[in-house]
Amino acid sequence: MKADQTVEVRKQEALKLLAPLGFVDNDDQGEPGTIYHPVCGAIDISYLHVEELVKQIYDAGFNAGSEKIRSGMRQLLGVSPK
């Protein structure tokens, strides 16, 4: 199997698992191994192990959630962002 075929297979396998969470094919010809999520952004799965992928997704969600909480707290306290 060629390298570009392997990347496509890995991407399709990742999308089977992650599509219910809102991930889609990034359709980027320059980076064929990328998937996309509105919170996580583009993630290149062509080189990531499953553990690294899960960590990257978790970190993106944690950071987005933390920022949302901080923003809400600033709004409640009437403090402008830094």
Instruction: Find the angle CA(61)-CA(67)-CA(70) to the nearest 5 degrees.
Output: 140
pTM: 0.71
Domain ranges, residue 45: 3-77
- Listed residue (17, 52, 24, 27) closest to 39, CA to CA: 24
| pLDDT over 80 at 76, yes or no | yes
Using an 8 Å Cβ cutoff, are 14 and 46 in contact? Answer: no
**What's the confidence (pLDDT) of residue 22?**
93
- Whether 82 maps to a domain, the answer reads no
Band (pLDDT 50/70/90 cuts) for residue 6 is: confident
| pLDDT over 70 at 82, yes or no | no
Given phi > 0 = left and psi -120 to 50 = alpha, else beta, which region is 44?
Answer: beta
**What's the confidence (pLDDT) of residue 19?**
93
**What's the confidence (pLDDT) of residue 1?**
63
- Whether 27 maps to a domain, the answer reads yes
Name the domain count of the chain.
Answer: 1
Contacts of 22 (CB under 8 A, 6+ apart): 37, 38, 39
Band (pLDDT 50/70/90 cuts) for residue 48 is: confident
